[in-house]
Amino acid sequence: MSHREHVEESLDAIRRSKLNAFITVDYEGARRQAEEADAGELDGRLAGIPIAIKDAISTKGLRTTCASKMLEDYVPPYDAFVVKKLREEGAVIIGKTNMDEFSMGTSTETSFFGPCKNPWDLERVPGGSSGGSAAAVAAQEADLALGSDTGGSIRCPASFCGVVGLKPTYGRVSRSGLVSYGNSMEQIGPIARTVEACAALFEVIAGYDPWDSTSRDVPVPHYVARLTDEIAGLEVGVPQDFFGEGVDPVVENATWEAIAVLESLGVHAKETSMPNLKYALSAYYVQAMSEASSNLARYSGIIYGHRVQKDHDWHTTFSENRASGFGKEVKRRLLLGTYALSAGYYDKYYLKARKARALISRDFQRVFKQFDALIAPTMPYVAFKIGEKIEDPLSLYKVDINTVPINLANVPSLSVPCGRKGRLPIGMQIIGDQFNEQLLFNIAFQFEQNTNNTCAL
């Protein structure tokens, strides 16, 4: 099959789709890139492969909206660093995927362009905030996708949609060109249907970017070549703090069954405890909302972005632009973040959250002196129904309870399918020490090769 024929299959799937996984599809550009690949004008490790990009990542000449009315018509004049690397390797950028507005959500229901749907059950959410990317990959509307993860936004939809998703170590992948939500925690990462494909995409996007002050100059291994490395003898911790109240017994059992598979491959698993994880959810949301209130201050509609029809005085115009340009959840988080940073409350909320984050990081440092990796459920339950939690913000925030500790500690975590509840996928996350993504891929690959949990529609 030619690259053009393969890309056309993806475009046809998108056209027929009921998922609403894409905000913008570059039909002409994708076909042109595929033809260039067929003609040998594009070469590289990803030549001719259709890739979907989360709509928070800048793409030159292709609309980047962050799923918000505020940026509904914004077309970036530059590519994000990771998009440049994809183009250098011949990838076909097929379009921009649906997401929670400005990455603020866990279900892809806060999008200005309407909710994305789960490919396994159209009445359920795909997870968020990178829900469109995971849904597109699961439904074979794209071979690979990029998402971003600030508190679980790659791993949550990977788990709910039954695909593989990696939240890398902070600094491993450039954030240049990513529209920021929470600067100190977010990372761009790969989503794919298999561990090998996920590792191949990560191998391309990882690496140092001198234009990103948070980027770390650390060598990038040949992840795919080392997937068959031996995992027998590894010491794996199972923190009971990830199996607390609210975790569905079916999800818990699936995770333990997956651990049993790893034990049959020679991995030694042992229960452990990380007592400071109880502070993670509240610490994360205080800090993330505070960073968001600062990051989104630039979106005023004065220089660019959504602007009301009639101008008033500066303060009124500024307020009306933001009131009509942002959705309800974004406004809620901006208000809470501004409050946490305000005089008289900074020490009470933001500073306390920073201290809690330090305690959580120490918990991870301690367990990684004893264990090579940790294993836990990615999400406490399977995908819930659209509309079930969106009017109850606290209930929706609690969905992130197993993913946010990883972002607070800036360590990597890989979500891989490990079972099902009915038709709905279940994911487990394999967590490693900083810059140890290779080990996570190796464990996940061996697990995948010895089970039948790859979820393909």
Annotated active-site residue 342? The verdict is no
Angle made by CA atoms 323, 324, 325, in degrees to the nearest 5: 95
Largest CA distance in the chain: 69
Nearest residue to 64 via CA among 148, 126, 167, 136: 148
| C-alpha to C-alpha distance for 17 and 5, rounded to whole angstroms | 18
Q: 280 φ, ψ to 5°?
A: -65, -50
- Spot the catalytic one: 103, 111, 133, 153: 153
Q: How far is CA 261 from the centre of its chain?
A: 26
DSSP 23: E
- Cα–Cα distances (Å) from 125 to 26, 131, 158, 160, 285, in that order, read 25, 8, 12, 8, 21
Strand 22-25 and strand 164-167: the pairing is: unpaired
Annotated active-site residue 129? The verdict is yes
Helices (H), 89-242: 131-138, 155-161, 195-205
Burial class (CB in 10 A: 0-12, 13-18, 19+), 297: exposed
Nearest residue to 293 via CA among 345, 350, 335: 335
Annotated active-site residue 215? The verdict is no
- Spot the catalytic one: 58, 129, 133, 413: 129
| C-alpha to C-alpha distance for 124 and 116, rounded to whole angstroms | 9
- Spot the catalytic one: 10, 54, 68, 130: 54
| C-alpha to C-alpha distance for 239 and 401, rounded to whole angstroms | 13
Token digits for 146?
Answer: 């990029």
Task: List residues with catalytic annotation.
Answer: 54, 129, 153
